[in-house]
Amino acid sequence: MVSELTPEYIATLRLMTGAQKLRTSFQLYWGARRLKAARLRQQYPGWSEQDVQQRVKEIFQNAVT
């Protein structure tokens, strides 16, 4: 999936401090983990919360870009 960076998006990024960018990246990362956990709970209703969290951990540890 390739998306074009709009001038408005680039301008917004330039206005952000380093701390704001870091905070935003952490929010995106942990949000992605919560979404993955929610999907796994839906997909495997018999799994314990520990099972779900372990699988999320494995998925994110093995992720490549």
Residues 2-53 pLDDT 10s:
578 999 999 999 999 999 999 999 999 999 999 999 999 999 999 999 999 9
b vs e for 26-64, b when ≥16 Cβ sit within 10 Å of the residue's Cβ? eeeeeeeeeeebeebeeeeeeeeeeebeebbeeeeeeee
In a domain, residue 27? The reply is yes
* Count, residues in the chain: 65
Containing domain of residue 56, as a range? 7-61
How confident is the model at residue 7, as a pLDDT?
93
Residue 1 included in any domain = no
Number of structural domains the chain divides into = 1
pLDDT higher than 90, residue 64? no
CA atoms within 13 A on the CB side of 33: 14
